Structure 1
Amino acid sequence: MRDFALAPPVATTPLTAGLADSVFETALRTPALPVLARRLDATSWQEVSAAELRDQVVDLAKGFVACGITPGHRVAIMARTRYEWTVLSHALWAVGAEVVPVYPTASRDQVAWILRDAGCVGVVVEDEQSVMTVGSVCATLPALRHVWQLDTGALEELTRRGEHVPPTTIESLRRIVMPDATAVIAYTSGTSGRPLGCALSHRSLASPCDTLLAGWAHTAAPPGSRPSVLAFLPFSHVYGLMIQGLCLRGGILMGHEPDLGGAALAEALRTFRPTYLYAVPSVFEKIYKNFLRTAQEAGRGSLFERAAETARDFAAAVERQRLGRGSGPGFDLRLQHALFERTVYRRLRAALGGRVHRATSGGSPLHRDLSLFYEGIGVYVHDGYGLTETSGGVTMQPLGREKSGTVGQALPGTDIRVAEDGEILVRGPSVFQGYVNAEPATRAALRGGWLATGDLGFLDTDGYLTITGRKKDVIITSSGKSVAPAALEQRLRLHPLVHQAVVVGDNRPCVGALITLDPDFLAHWRRSLTLHGDSREAREENALREEIARAVAAANSSVSRSESIRAFRILPQPFDQSNGLLTPSMKLRRDSIVAHYAAEIEAMYQARARLPRQSAPEDVLSWDDADNVFR
């Protein structure tokens, strides 16, 4: 068993009250400081000062008090990432209430389970559809007394109801909130069963934010620039909550973008112009694919690919230099990089708003090649690690010694240990209080002060942590070979045509893969084909299989033969929440996917079994029968 701690805790101001205090303290210290930005229209934003935010928080807090919300009450917020989410959460914390985030895309059964399990007395929803979802389960929720709808003036109604409540009442309630009081009940993704509610205290939520701000706040913007962050990840997830906490506790200007669609997000980045970007790997993958597709449509695909290769080579050379393992980029590489900086890289950064110079990826591992690409074009992307149970991040890259392909080292004050079976254990101030109404699960997760994360990984000799997958996702083939699917799936998704990938193979003779296609890039790829004649559809299908086979071969190059993908099936539809194959946090429900596509998986392995044993093919194209991917 190996363990590692980065350093003694960075000096931070001890938390003495609740999370809402940061709003009040900033307003007292710098009342005119812009802390939030509201979207006015497609291209313009209105800044909100610290004093204005505090006043709105007080007005809403008074409204909650008038509605009977008292310390310890739980109120759910079921909305996208929008301005009101931030005001509502701090108003609830100001009166000592506990926030229960719920994904607005959650199913009826998921909403019923969370509201009932948490015992919510109220829920704030966004629109009529959400009202109908909550209304359909109200009969099973005896504690629920209030449903507020944002799009029909809920904030204005709460403000009006609280007009008779004196501000001193809110001040008194705020001052009795203790750091170790529960602030959030955040539910896990529920990939393998019912979601569990993680009780997170004000202290545990503030801890990683304050540690990161103490040691890394100066990296949020170039020297002389005001730091700003565009929040578009769901606040229903602990990663989104951590971003909100970092901004409000660190005085970083934060804008909200509720629409994760490509066009809306691109426009928000262009107009808000953040200096730091927080996203998940799928967003960074999508941005890269959009760069490539745009270049190919303009007839500059080869130029982009050469520029991307140069960016990765340059970043890798710089990394070797900063780790003391090389002399840095040579003259020719520096010359090539400088040429592409003038012709390609600055345009790519402009698509992100033109001011982003660093970023963090979280939620799942980011492939090293992508990290190197972004660093090479001038946007260093740190791959972070954390869980709902740890209130967000537990690792960070040490400044000046960043290592792509890892998630960095343990945050100061946090300890990381890797057990003999490869499971990552975490101990520190951000670890949760326990699961709500699930004492056996809490005892299983917390072992002698250490949190058993369920993640697999390893620590290198310098204490850098690499994540290799989830313990429960490990595949055991019929020959007894253990395969962690995450790395293969991650490598497959690097191909622009691949949208999702699920590696299968439990009790099978070899590893297989289910693959879905990126619809935007598929449409572009089809347009770029030069096929003619009556058999175009068949030839198009063959060309597509050849392209996906190359993606499989590239993924296989990173693993041993016994771990490689020996059969694959291209699916006509993506894994989605609507078919129950994705969680609201966009995580794969592996067991559900395997059950849903049982017939396809069986056919894939039957086709593999029909191949002659004496001439085991090396060509991945012959490992599976043809798929009609256009049905």
Structure 2
Amino acid sequence: MEVKAGTAAELFTKAAQVHGKRVGFGTRLKSRLWKPTTFGEVYDEGAALATALIDMGLERGEHVGLIADNRLEWIIANCGIQLVGAADVPRGTDLTDSDITYILPHADVRVCFIENVEIWKRIQNLKSELPAVETYILMNFDQEAPAGVLHMKDLIEKGKALRNEGDRRAEERAKQVQPEDLSTIIYTSGTTGAPKGVMLQHSNIMYMIDCIPVDLGPHDRALSILPVWHIFERALEMFSIAKGCSTYYSSIRMLGDDLKNVQPTFMGSAPRLWEVLYMRILDNAQAAHPVRRFLFHTGYGLAEIYKNSMFYLQNRKLHLHKPNPLLFALGWVLHLVRWLLVTPLYGFFNVAVLERIRQAAGASLKATISGGGALPRHVDQFFTYVGIPVLEGYGMTETAGPITARTVKKLVIETVGPVLEGVEIRIVDLNHGEVLYPNPKNKYNGRGLRGEIHVKGPIVMRGYYKNQEATDKVMKDGWMNTGDIGMMTFNDCVKILGRSKDTIVLASGENVEPVPIENRLLQSPLIDHVMVVGQDEKSLGALIVPSIEGFKSLGYESLSVAELAEHPDVEKEVARAIKQEISSENGFKSFERVTDFRLVPKTFEAADELTAKLSLRRHVITEKYQHLIDEIYGRTPSEKSKAAK
């Protein structure tokens, strides 16, 4: 039975009533042993914590800091905060000191949960900049609370004692929480400067979890690997609670083992995870016996033919232009014949070869939703063809998660799926502000026309906390400007083309979207990270981090990124890769060529060059490597020429 609720407080309460004795969460004890916690136990601990928080004076509507990563204590703390009627201000333990000193004061945090003593040590050095934070609560049950810090375990025990005496203030508070109340303030990762506090109401999140296009129930198992403070993972966890699905807290490091011992039927994922898995599968295939390697490539080739024809027959091939009816009908007949011819061979190789790949990647997965960035086309194709459908979605913190999402029945490669029910989007001309889609004045209602994506509906945020200027920049008449460029395809799916703020305008006046170029370059196994540059310049350049694994396969053993960046032969290999990937044969125009590049001597890392979602922090990279960009465009003397000609 699915739980329907109007607020997070009501969701936790009803989940305990409906699914109380079922396992809600699993936490690791040893490599393959898990400690189960029921939905009822989570609620009981959360209600006890809420009672203690109320007793210490926490008011409805206050903002509570929550600095922690994925763990059972996070969901219990969140349950307690929501039952009180407060709003959490979450962040992971990888936050910087500047994040701490900016977010906690800006969010008016008085009470703050911290995962461990290590965070407390950092805060101690910053306390002079955090005068308003009165109370810190340690979450890790295996650590002793330092002087001046309360322990969450002690608060829960205190709350239980009060509840045993008949205290029901937690239930009373929970009933007072309204859908329009704030549930959370999530500070964005800061790809364009100072973080902004996204205010999300209970109604935003509750509507979102009703829209997630996956059929789960009490017998399903979800794996939690993405940061829980991100709205994407958080919405999926709330979705699992509503469905009575068990959530197991894993990590990227343990993912391979947990796919086997948990056998999840569902998980949220990021594109990078699938890129790593894709490379691992290809590396294993290349290292295999020649006969096995032949079987792998034959099986995949047959799957590609089979799935391509099947998608054509089901109208699931990407259509950016209106198909010619006659040519489409002719193609339909040809694909039907091809599909019938290849089916017997595909059936054999699907069982004998491709099933092994599915077993390694999680044979029990009925669905996985990928978000937080674009899924590279070659990775998207690979997993779709081998029979692991990755339901890519598109959304943002400001929309409480997905705006669009693929479904198993509506999976069109290179798109992010159809718009969710109850959500409206429009495509707006960047230069004139004219609505291109939906617009009956335009041919085909504006399908196939590219522009800026605006969104409207119950998922859209209230605004940015204490930042009306930033709110007014993106919100107008209920419509939110996502800052993303895209189009509505003739499959009625959305295709993302880039960021309007990322758009590079060359000196010639040509507008260039760097993301498709970067995604194509990342298909090369020799390139680990890349950022295209060229604003107001004559041509495009790129900052490239060489791949240790990729060059190891070419015989460059035991070289660090810094050593690779200084190796003249590495430069030549990267130049060849650029020329091969960014070509007219691959659909790139002459002004989209990368004419020069520099190798970066350090890998890009989260909380530095990358956000926690592994998106490029372009302003940080530009500032950090401005000297390399200057070299590309001849503004400083360079000893080397690295032109990719």
TM-score for the superposition, normalised by structure 2:
0.84
Q: Does 1:315 align with 2:307?
A: yes
CA spacing shift, 1:205–1:555, aligned 2, 3 Å: farther
CA spacing shift, 1:311–1:20, aligned 2, 3 Å: farther
Pairing partner for 2:453 from 424, 430, 439: 424
Equivalent position SS for 1:472: coil
**Whole-angstrom distance in 2 between the partners of 1:131 and 1:548:** 47
Pairing partner for 2:577 from 527, 548, 553: 548
Pairing partner for 2:222 from 211, 220, 229: 229
Worse-superposed segment, 248-257 or 106-115: 248-257
Letter in 2 for 1:566: T
How far did 1:525 drift?
4.2
**Whole-angstrom distance in 2 between the partners of 1:21 and 1:280:** 30
Letter in 1 for 2:314: R
Q: Tell me the equivalent position of 1:148.
A: 137
Q: Any idea what the Cα deviations from partners look like across 1:186-234, whole Å, max 9, x if unmatched?
A: 111211111100110111011111122xxx342x48xxx9322101100
Worse-superposed segment, 269-278 or 189-198: 269-278
Pairing partner for 2:417 from 369, 384, 408: 408
CA spacing shift, 1:605–1:301, aligned 2, 3 Å: farther
Equivalent position SS for 2:36: strand
Q: Tell me the equivalent position of 1:623.
A: 643
Pairing partner for 1:21 from 10, 14, 26: 10
Q: Does 1:596 align with 2:605?
A: no
CA spacing shift, 1:77–1:119, aligned 2, 3 Å: same
Equivalent position SS for 1:410: coil
CA spacing shift, 1:13–1:163, aligned 2, 3 Å: closer
- Residue 425 of structure 1 contacts residue 450 of structure 1 at CA under 8 Å; is this kept in 2? yes
CA spacing shift, 1:376–1:601, aligned 2, 3 Å: same
Task: Give structure 2 stretches of 5+ with no counterpart.
Answer: 145-150, 317-327, 431-450, 559-565
- Residue 119 of structure 1 contacts residue 143 of structure 1 at CA under 8 Å; is this kept in 2? yes
CA spacing shift, 1:303–1:562, aligned 2, 3 Å: farther
**Whole-angstrom distance in 2 between the partners of 1:194 and 1:542:** 35
Equivalent position SS for 2:471: helix
- Residue 488 of structure 1 contacts residue 556 of structure 1 at CA under 8 Å; is this kept in 2? no
Q: How does 1:204-353 map to 2 (within 5 A)?
A: 204-212=204-212, 216-218=213-215, 220=216, 226-257=219-250, 259-261=251-253, 264-299=254-289, 304-323=296-315, 326=332, 327=335, 330-353=339-362
How far did 1:369 drift?
2.8
Letter in 2 for 1:295: A
Equivalent position SS for 2:414: coil
Cα RMSD for the two superposed structures: 2.8
Q: Tell me the equivalent position of 2:438.
A: none
Q: Tell me the equivalent position of 1:122.
A: 111
**Whole-angstrom distance in 2 between the partners of 1:431 and 1:404:** 27
**Whole-angstrom distance in 2 between the partners of 1:309 and 1:133:** 53
- Residue 15 of structure 1 contacts residue 179 of structure 1 at CA under 8 Å; is this kept in 2? no
Equivalent position SS for 2:264: coil
How far did 1:123 drift?
1.8
Q: Any idea what the Cα deviations from partners look like across 1:538-566, whole Å, max 9, x if unmatched?
A: 68636743663466446972321221222
- Residue 99 of structure 1 contacts residue 184 of structure 1 at CA under 8 Å; is this kept in 2? yes
- Residue 198 of structure 2 contacts residue 397 of structure 2 at CA under 8 Å; is this kept in 1? yes
Higher relative contact order (CA 8 A, sep 6+): 1
**Whole-angstrom distance in 2 between the partners of 1:555 and 1:274:** 42
CA spacing shift, 1:495–1:336, aligned 2, 3 Å: farther
CA spacing shift, 1:594–1:62, aligned 2, 3 Å: same
CA spacing shift, 1:291–1:131, aligned 2, 3 Å: same
- Residue 425 of structure 2 contacts residue 455 of structure 2 at CA under 8 Å; is this kept in 1? yes
Q: How does 1:446-525 map to 2 (within 5 A)?
A: 446-525=475-554
Letter in 1 for 2:428: A
**Whole-angstrom distance in 2 between the partners of 1:306 and 1:349:** 16
Equivalent position SS for 1:513: strand
Letter in 2 for 1:143: A
How far did 1:306 drift?
4.8
How far did 1:297 drift?
3.0
Worse-superposed segment, 67-76 or 379-388: 67-76
**Whole-angstrom distance in 2 between the partners of 1:341 and 1:528:** 36
Q: Tell me the equivalent position of 2:447.
A: none
CA spacing shift, 1:608–1:68, aligned 2, 3 Å: closer
Q: Tell me the equivalent position of 1:99.
A: 88
**Whole-angstrom distance in 1 between the partners of 2:65 and 2:258:** 27
Q: Tell me the equivalent position of 1:7.
A: none
**Whole-angstrom distance in 1 between the partners of 2:517 and 2:288:** 31
Q: Tell me the equivalent position of 1:161.
A: 158
Equivalent position SS for 1:195: coil
Equivalent position SS for 1:290: helix
- Residue 183 of structure 2 contacts residue 202 of structure 2 at CA under 8 Å; is this kept in 1? yes
Equivalent position SS for 2:481: strand
Q: Tell me the equivalent position of 2:468.
A: 439
**Whole-angstrom distance in 2 between the partners of 1:198 and 1:386:** 14
Equivalent position SS for 2:199: strand
Letter in 2 for 1:393: P
**Whole-angstrom distance in 2 between the partners of 1:123 and 1:622:** 50
How far did 1:458 drift?
0.7
Worse-superposed segment, 508-517 or 385-394: 508-517
Equivalent position SS for 1:452: strand
CA spacing shift, 1:34–1:554, aligned 2, 3 Å: farther
Q: Tell me the equivalent position of 1:193.
A: 193
CA spacing shift, 1:317–1:372, aligned 2, 3 Å: farther
**Whole-angstrom distance in 1 between the partners of 2:361 and 2:452:** 36
- Residue 220 of structure 2 contacts residue 264 of structure 2 at CA under 8 Å; is this kept in 1? yes
CA spacing shift, 1:39–1:123, aligned 2, 3 Å: same
**Whole-angstrom distance in 2 between the partners of 1:554 and 1:336:** 35
How far did 1:402 drift?
2.2
**Whole-angstrom distance in 2 between the partners of 1:14 and 1:274:** 24
**Whole-angstrom distance in 2 between the partners of 1:75 and 1:551:** 52
Equivalent position SS for 2:455: strand
Task: Give structure 1 stretches of 5+ with no counterpart.
Answer: 1-11, 530-536, 611-620, 626-631
How far did 1:498 drift?
2.0
Q: Tell me the equivalent position of 1:135.
A: 124
How far did 1:51 drift?
1.8
Worse-superposed segment, 30-39 or 198-207: 30-39
CA spacing shift, 1:60–1:314, aligned 2, 3 Å: farther
Equivalent position SS for 1:80: coil
How far did 1:485 drift?
0.7
- Residue 189 of structure 1 contacts residue 584 of structure 1 at CA under 8 Å; is this kept in 2? yes
How far did 1:582 drift?
2.1
How far did 1:163 drift?
3.6
Q: Tell me the equivalent position of 2:615.
A: 587
How far did 1:20 drift?
2.5
CA spacing shift, 1:302–1:28, aligned 2, 3 Å: same
**Whole-angstrom distance in 1 between the partners of 2:601 and 2:294:** 29
- Residue 322 of structure 1 contacts residue 401 of structure 1 at CA under 8 Å; is this kept in 2? no
Q: Any idea what the Cα deviations from partners look like across 1:37-82, whole Å, max 9, x if unmatched?
A: 2222111223322222221222222232233322112111111111
Identity %: 25
**Whole-angstrom distance in 1 between the partners of 2:401 and 2:364:** 25
